Amino acid sequence: MTRMMAIVERDLRKFFRSPTLMLVSMVMPLVQLVILGNAFGGKIHNARVGVVDYDHGEQAVRVREMFDSVAANIKTFTAVNCNDERQAREDVRTGKLDAALIIPAQYSRRVLAGDSPKLGLVVDNSDQFMSSSLEAEMQSLADALNTPTVQPKVVQQIVLEIVELYPYVEYMKYLLAGSIALAMYVSVMIGGGMLYIDDKARGVHEGFLVTPITRLELVMGLNLAGAIKAVLSGVSLTVIGSLLAGLGGDFSSRAGAAASAVDCGRFDCV
C-alpha cells in the first residue's frame, strides 16, 4: 500500500508544482461546462413561431388569439405570420423560425363537427431542447383550447399533432458527425500537439535547428503533417463509420424523402 501511495505522492507533487497544468485542467472543463450547459439547457426566450392559417374560420381565430395572448404575456415566443406551410417548414429548417403552428384547412368545420380536429406543429427535432419546450407549450395551448369556459355546445377534442421536421435517426448515425470531429481533434492533439512537445523535450528540435531550417519551416512542417494525419483519420472514420452506422443505402433514399417532404405539405391538402 505504501508503495502505491509513494507513486500517488510523486504524481501529486509534480502536479502542484506546475501552476500552468493546474490552470488548464480546471479551466478547460469549466469552459466546456458553460458552453455545453447553454447548448443543452437554459430558458427559451423569444422563440420565433410561425403561424400558418389555412382556415381563417372562427375557431382558427380563437387559436390565434390564444396564441397571441400567450406570446404577449409570457414572451416565451413571438408569433410570426406565414402564408405557406412549405415555406414555414423551410424556414424552420433554415432557422428563420424555431417552430411553425399550422392551422389546416377545414379546421373550424372539424372543431364544430367534433371530427378529430388537428393542429400541426412543425419542430426542428435536431434541437432537442427547443423542440421539446415548444411542444410542451403548444400542448398546454391545445389543452387550454380543449377546456370549456362555458357550458360546451361543442365538445372540443382538439389534438395537437407534432410534425417533426427530421424523421427518426438512429443514435449511431446521429453520433457519427460528432465522432468524426472528435477523431480529427484527438488526432491533431496527439499526433500534432503532443508529438511536438515530446520532440521538443527530447531535444530533437535542437538537432534540427542547427541546420539551415528556419523555425517557421519546422513548425509549419509539423503542423502540416498533423493536419494530414487529422484529415486521414477524419476520412477513414467517415467511410468506416458510415458503413457501421448503415448510412450507405440511406443516401439515395434520404434524398428522395427530403424532396417529397418539401414538395407536399401535410396540412393544406386534406
Partner 1 sequence: MTAHKSDPRYAGIAIAVENIVKRYGDFEAVSDVSFQVKNGEMFGLLGPNGAGKSTLIRMMTTLIPATSGRANIAGFDVAKEPDIVRRAIGVIPQALTSDIDLTVEENLSIYAKLYGVPKAQREKNIEELLRAVDLLKWRDAQTKTLSGGMRRRLEIARGLIHNPQIFFLDEPTTGLDPVSRVAVWEMLDHLRSTRELTILITTHYMDEADHLCDRIAIVDHGKLVALDTPIALKASVPGNSVVDVQFARDAGEWRERLETLAGLTSVEAQSVGSYRLHTENGPQTTASLVALAADKGAVIKSLSVQNTTLDDVFVHYTGRQLRDEQVKAPLFQMPPRPGN
Give the binding site for partner 1 (CB under 8 A).
Answer: 200, 202-215
**What does the block give as the cell for 98?**
424555431
Q: How far is the CB of 207 from partner 1 (least distance, A)?
A: 3
| The three cell numbers locating residue 21 | 497544468
Minimum distance between the CB of residue 252 and partner 1, rounded to whole angstroms?
43
Of 219 and 240, the one with the shorter C-beta distance to partner 1 is 219
Q: Which three cell numbers stand for residue 109?
A: 368545420
The grid cell for 66 is 390564444
Q: Which conformational region is residue 106 in: left (phi greater than 0), alpha (psi within -120 to 50 degrees), or beta? A: left
145 closest CA partner among 153, 136, 155, 156: 156
Closest approach, Cβ 197 to partner 1, in A, equals 13
Nearest to partner 1 of 9, 206 (CB atom): 206
Cα–Cα distance measured from residue 48 to residue 78, given in angstroms and rounded to the nearest whole number: 5
Shorter beta-carbon distance to partner 1: residue 10 or 202:
202
Vertex 81, ends 75 and 86: CA angle to 5°? 120
**Cell numbers placing 168:** 427518426
**Among residues 95 and 221, whose Cβ is nearest to partner 1?**
221
Q: How far is the CB of 213 from partner 1 (least distance, A)?
A: 5
